[in-house]
Amino acid sequence: MRARVHHVEHHIAHLSSAFMVSPYEEAAVVSVDGFGDFVGAMWGVGNGNRIEVKERIYFPPPSSCLALFLKYSMDFCSNPSACSAKFAV
């Protein structure tokens, strides 16, 4: 058996997984998750067994990436008393 591997763009996979199983013949499709193949969001139109991408919003600027990195790496939380062991609050 010979298997073939196909590259599927991150947001196209999201759009497809929602539209292809829907009961609609035609629909607007949107994927927004901030990350994925350097695209933060994508929208298009699903029609039949095809999806036409109308627009991609590319990865946030580096300053946004730095802010996200710092937020997650420092494990900020909404409860200051829970964070007091790590940070002087």
Global pTM value = 0.62
pLDDT tens profile 56-82: 988 766 556 666 666 666 665 554 544
Hey, what's the torsion of the CAs at 82, 83, 85, 87, to 10 degrees? -160
Cα–Cα distance, 15 to 53 (Å, whole number): 9
pLDDT tens profile 9-55: 889 999 999 999 999 999 999 998 766 677 888 999 999 999 999 99
How many other C-beta atoms are found inside a 10 Å radius of the C-beta of residue 55?
8
57: number of CA atoms within 13 Å, CB side? 13
Strands (E), the chain: 26-32, 39-47, 50-58
